Each structure stands twice: as structure tokens, then as C-alpha cells.
Structure 1
């Protein structure tokens, strides 16, 4: 009768031991992954070791060639060896660069052009090898970029980089990459204010009548940075430092910049005296009409 209780106690003890081991394994700390700095150091160590091995092999090879140079020279002088391609490779080791520079025969052909004689010399092998390399490069470039379209062309790469750069710039009112959606002002008061602001701030470069001086003529249909009101607004607000156009943000309010932009569009086709020649691309923006 005591056999069953003993078996039960043994099973319970075994279960407790098993559970304890499992709990100990679960609670055991997991080794953290190696940090990135350690991996980088290991990579540089392996690269350094590889470079050292390559340098040692090159040094041993150079020492061996120098030691065996007399024997290699005698082998190279054999008629059956010297004319072969492998013999020319051997010639590089003994100081004869015929494989690279070719043989200069200096044989004059039976051609005479105003006292200028033509020599019958082949193109230098290094030049021909370089030309063959450009052909292989062109085939690889064509296949990679145009046939398989695996790589980005310059235009696509530029667009992708500009898109990534735009993500780093906050898309708020001071974002030069975010075009506004304003409509041109047409009220007489706004256009009058825009004229006053233009004469005060913009006339020194663009003329009192926007005919153009240092800056371009703003009364024709040609625009360097866009003739729609939001493009004109952007040009005035952020300026074009590379062309000498200053940024007016911080000096004029947003409404004032829109008033100036709308006033400029109202001058389209006014043809003032002494107007500067057209610059930029031809556009036909909507001309605001004052609401009296």
C-alpha cells in the first residue's frame, strides 16, 4: 500500500525539479547583442588584416622576382617566349614594357603630304586596352541603366534626393518648398497698397513702373521664377540670393507680400517706356482687375 504514495511523491518531486529548471532557464539573463561599435571595429580589424596579408604577398613576390631576375631574363630572351603574350607579361617583370607601349618600328610609308611623312606604327597597347575598357563600360552602363533599369538616371536620382531633402524641412508657412494657394487680390485698396510698397522697396532694382533696371522687367509675359501669383509671392518672400534678389520675409507681412504680388500682375501688358528686354519663360498669368 505504501508503493503508490511513494510513486506520487516521486512524481511530484520530479515535476518540481523540472519546473524549477525551466524557471531558472527562463530567468537567466540573455546576452545582449554586440554593439554596432564592436562590429565596426571587427570589420576594420578584418580589413586591416587582409590588407596586411596582401602587402606581405606583394612584398614576397617582388623579392622573389628580384632574386630570380637573371633567370627570368634568360627565359625571356628565348625566341619562342619573347613573341608570345605570356612572354610579354614576363617582360614586364624583367623591365621590358613592350606589352604596354608596343613596338615602335618607325617605318616610313610611301606618303608625303607637304613634307609630312607618315610612320607605320601601331597604336600603343595601353591606348587600345583603355579603348576596349570604355566599350565594356558602355555596354555595362547601357544594360544596367537603360535595359534592365536597375539604376536611377541622373534626373530620377536628383528627384529622389530632393524628395528626401524635403522631408527634413518642416512644411509650415516658412517652407520654401511648399507653394501657397492664395488668389490674387483685386480690390482697389489692396492694389494701391501694393503699388506704394513696390515703389518704396522694389523700384530701385525694377524701376518705378516695373520696367526693369538691375532686376528684370515685370510687365511682360516672361518670368524667371514663375508668373502665377503664388510663384511671385514665393519669389518676393524668400528671394533669390544667387541672383541678388533679397528675401522680404520679416520685412513685409504676408498680406503686404500678396498685395505687391497682385499689383505686379496688374501691370501685365502695360508696356512702360524704357522697358528691359524679356527674360525667362513666357507665361500668361491671370491679370487681377480692381474691384471699385
Structure 2
């Protein structure tokens, strides 16, 4: 049996490990190779892990030094010229004196005596005072940035901008509730008759037989809660107003039937039926309604 020197055996073993480690990489096909984005992401995680390890080692090293040098630090802290200074108070934290955070506790009584209640003359905790100063600085910066320089959006403007951005993701198809139709009112007798029949069957229980208003508002006056132009009325009937109890009719009536009902309602303007409900909403003259077309 032939024996090789130790260095040759180590080199051979290392070469074998390199071959085994490179085997999967050599067998990897072009389709399974990591892309540039994956490589950059992997490199980022490696750098972050390395940075975290370095920070951890530095913290452990600093803690070890503090523990080993604590007697010397204590003697340095006891010096009269060191202890009252800011750096001395920071040094005190390392040796167990929390005066920098807790403040001075003198336990000196003031001359105040209210029903046996005495007041001590102690400082406010520094952490509380510094937090209070930080809130003042933040308030000044906030006021300057948002109200004086007007460089940032206030809550109302920010909400409006977010709603506009959200509207971009809403479908713009024909069934989009944010897209107003461009229909003209129907005037043919058959359409108005059909609209009256549909209204009597479906809408009269809430709005009255003559649209004078019951649970729902009066639909014969010039006041409208959600717009009195035919396309606004069409939209209200189709999608409803769930917050006010108005159901959506888009799954029960066809588009033409909804337009017939809308046109019939506009034909009732100014009829002034008996027992009409008081006006609700905003006044809208016929000219204004036509202008919305």
C-alpha cells in the first residue's frame, strides 16, 4: 500500500469537495440559472447579514470592555471634575448610575402644606423633559412644513388625492358606478307609460303613488338629493343609495326600464300632488338639469 504525504491527502480531499460543490452548478441548465434580479437580491441579503454580524460583534466587544474595565470606570466616575459633566453622566450609566435618565432625587420638602400633603423639590425626569422638547421641535417643523411653506398635503388634500388614485383602478366599463351615462330623457308615450307602470309596481311603496314622497323623498319638486338630471336619476335608480335605504335596481330592471322610470319621474316635475313631502336636497331648476347633459 502506498502512502501519500499529509499535504497531498489534504489537497486531494479539498479538490474532491470543490468538485462535489461545483457539481450542481455544472449540471444547472440555462433555464434554471438565477437572473440578475435574483443575484442582486441575494447579494443584498448577504451584505445585510454581514452588516448585522459586524454590528453584533461590535456590541459584544463594547459590552466586554465595559465589564472588564468597570472598576477603572467607576474610579473615573467618582472624580469630582467628571461626575457633574454630561459625559460623566453618560459614564454613570455604564457603571450603574441612572441619574442621566432618572434625574436628581433630593427628597427636599418645600414649605407647602395642603391638608397634610407635602411637596418634594425634585427635578422632572430628564427622559420626560427631552421627550417634551422633542414634541415642541416636531410641532414647529410640522407647522412650518405643512401650514407655512405648504410643501406637504394636509389630511383633506391627501385623502382626495388617494381617492383619485383609487378611482384609476376602478373599472371604466359600462357598469362602472363612477362613470355617468349620457342618455337623453325619453318622451314617447309608450316609454312614459311603461315608466309609470314600473314606478307604480316598484317605487310607489316608498315614494308614493304620485311620487309625492313617503319614506323616500318627494320626486315632483325641484329639490334633489343626488341630482335631478336624467343621468343622475338613472344612476341613483341603478346603483341605489344603501346608506339611505335606496336599493339598487340594476339586477331587477333592465337599462331601458331604468331609463323609462327616470324619464317618467322627470315628466312629473311641477305636478304638486296632494300631501307632498317637504323638499329635501338642493334646488335644481330645469335649465340646470339640461346643462348637465
TM over 0.5: yes
Query: Is residue 248 of structure 1 aligned with residue 221 of structure 2?
Result: no
Residues 183-222 of structure 1: pairs in structure 2 closer than 5 A: 183-185=184-186, 190-203=191-204, 209=211, 211-213=213-215, 216-219=216-219
- Write the deviation string for residues 167-206 of structure 1: whole angstroms up to 9, x where unpaired: 3334232122212233455666545533432343345555
Query: Is residue 43 of structure 1 aligned with residue 44 of structure 2?
Result: yes
Structure-1 residue corresponding to 2:64: 63
Are the counterparts in 1 of residues 218 and 276 from structure 2 also a CA contact under 8 Å?
Answer: no
Give the whole-Å Cα distance in 1 for the aligned partners of 2:75 and 2:274: 91
Give the whole-Å Cα distance in 1 for the aligned partners of 2:276 and 2:71: 86
| Distance of aligned partners of 1:101 and 1:284 in 2 relative to their CA distance in 1, 3 Å threshold | same
C-alpha displacement of 1:81: 2.4
- Write the deviation string for residues 137-160 of structure 1: whole angstroms up to 9, x where unpaired: 233333443455443333333333
Over the residues paired in the alignment, what is the CA RMSD in angstroms?
Answer: 3.6
Structure-1 residue corresponding to 2:133: 132
Q: Which moved more, 1:141-150 or 1:97-106?
A: 141-150
| Distance of aligned partners of 1:83 and 1:255 in 2 relative to their CA distance in 1, 3 Å threshold | same
Give the whole-Å Cα distance in 1 for the aligned partners of 2:106 and 2:156: 49
Give the whole-Å Cα distance in 1 for the aligned partners of 2:182 and 2:99: 71
Residues 128-167 of structure 1: pairs in structure 2 closer than 5 A: 128-167=129-168
Pairs aligned (count): 251
The 3-state SS of whatever aligns with 2:152 is coil
| Distance of aligned partners of 1:285 and 1:43 in 2 relative to their CA distance in 1, 3 Å threshold | same
- Write the deviation string for residues 8-45 of structure 1: whole angstroms up to 9, x where unpaired: xxxxxxxxxxxxxxxxxxxxxxxxxx622322222232
Q: Extract unaligned runs of 5+ from structure 2.
A: 1-34, 288-293
Structure-2 residue corresponding to 1:27: none
Q: Which moved more, 1:194-203 or 1:221-230?
A: 221-230
C-alpha displacement of 1:113: 4.6
Q: Which moved more, 1:164-173 or 1:142-151?
A: 142-151
| Distance of aligned partners of 1:88 and 1:251 in 2 relative to their CA distance in 1, 3 Å threshold | same
Structure-2 residue corresponding to 1:285: 284
The 3-state SS of whatever aligns with 1:248 is coil
Give the whole-Å Cα distance in 2 for the aligned partners of 1:100 and 1:272: 78
Give the whole-Å Cα distance in 1 for the aligned partners of 2:115 and 2:265: 68
